[in-house]
């Protein structure tokens, strides 16, 4: 039997099978491409999940030195109990005869204290009127003096405008003090009460005081 034709037929059959396999491979894209696409997508998911959380605001109170807090507490006491001015409190906090806080601690206290300086000036004015029987002008000068309370002019004016006092009675009480402690004459008392270098009562207030001395 001849074998040449059968070998050729067998060879052709094998080639056809090979061609079919190639076609099938072409029609079915390799899974490697899909995996590659997945690999490319994964970093995007990772980037989203790795976004940093919003930074929370730090509680600044935790950063305040203890000495600054102590200065603020002292300042609040001076304001609430003694009705001092802003400048007066700063000087008291830093004075070597006072609280001896460093300037930065005292400044922190002044910057953060909640106080009504007009009201403090008014309460100080009332104290001078009730305990020392001072005149309106004398109280104003004491409130604004660098050697006194160190309130601002506006704060002192607020106090002078809003204080309720009997200035005639204050002048009379001052006159009695001069008469009893210094044995002054009536005219000398009158001059002392109305003098710009003395009590600074008005002339009418000084006259009332002298006329009503016993």
What per-residue confidence (pLDDT) applies to 134? 98
| Number of domains forming the structure of the chain | 2
**Residue 32 domain-assigned?**
no
**Residue 19 domain-assigned?**
no
**Residue at which a domain ends, from 99, 115, 131:** 115
- Reading the chain (214 residues) residue by residue, the pLDDT tens digits are 445 555 545 555 555 555 555 445 555 555 555 544 554 555 555 455 555 555 444 445 668 999 999 999 999 999 999 999 999 999 999 999 999 999 999 999 999 999 999 999 999 999 999 999 999 999 999 999 999 999 999 999 999 999 999 999 999 999 999 999 999 999 999 999 999 999 999 999 999 999 999 8
**Residue 175 domain-assigned?**
yes
What per-residue confidence (pLDDT) applies to 22? 46
What per-residue confidence (pLDDT) applies to 140? 99
**Residue 157 domain-assigned?**
no
**Residue at which a domain ends, from 84, 115, 146:** 115
Read out DSSP for 91-120? Answer: HHHH-TTTT---HHHHHHHHHH----HHHH
Supply the CATH number for residue 82's domain: 1.10.10.10
Which residues 6+ apart lie within 8 Å of 157 measured at CB? 140
**Residue 77 domain-assigned?**
yes
What per-residue confidence (pLDDT) applies to 59? 44
What per-residue confidence (pLDDT) applies to 57? 47
**Residue at which a domain ends, from 52, 80, 115:** 115
**Residue 205 domain-assigned?**
yes
Measured from the Cβ of residue 112, the count of other Cβ atoms closer than 10 Å reads 14
Please give the model's pTM, rounded to 2 decimal places: 0.71
**Residue 70 domain-assigned?**
yes
Contact (Cβ atoms closer than 8 angstroms) between residue 158 and residue 144: no
What per-residue confidence (pLDDT) applies to 58? 45
User: Which domain, by its residues, includes 96?
Assistant: 66-115
Measured from the Cβ of residue 58, the count of other Cβ atoms closer than 10 Å reads 8
Residue from 73, 71, 70 nearest 91 by CA: 71
Q: Is 198 helix (H, G, I), strand (E, B) or coil?
A: coil
**Residue 23 domain-assigned?**
no
164 burial (CB, 10 Å; 0-12 / 13-18 / 19+) is: exposed
């Amino acid at each position: 039997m001849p074998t040449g034709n059968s070998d050729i037929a067998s060879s052709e059959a094998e080639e056809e099978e090979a061609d079919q396999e190639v076609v099938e491979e072409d029609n079915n894209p390799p899974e490697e491409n899909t995996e590659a696409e997945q690999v490319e997508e994964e970093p995007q998911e990772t980037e989203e999940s790795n976004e940093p959380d919003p930074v929370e605001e730090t509680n600044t109170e935790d950063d305040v030195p203890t000495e600054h807090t102590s200065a603020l507490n002292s300042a609040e006491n001076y304001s609430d109990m003694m009705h001092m001015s802003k400048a007066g409190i700063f000087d008291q906090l830093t004075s070597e005869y006072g609280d001896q806080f460093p300037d930065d601690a005292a400044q922190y206290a002044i910057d953060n204290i909640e106080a009504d300086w007009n009201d403090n000036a008014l309460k100080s004015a009332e104290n001078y009127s009730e305990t020392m029987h001072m005149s309106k002008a004398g109280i104003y000068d004491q409130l604004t003096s660098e050697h006194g309370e160190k309130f601002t002019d506006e704060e002192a004016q607020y106090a002078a405008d809003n204080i309720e006092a009997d200035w005639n009675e204050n002048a009379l009480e001052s006159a009695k003090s001069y008469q009893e402690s210094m044995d002054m004459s009536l005219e000398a008392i009158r001059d002392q009460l109305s003098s710009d270098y003395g009590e600074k009562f008005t002339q009418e207030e000084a006259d009332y005081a002298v006329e009503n001395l016993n």
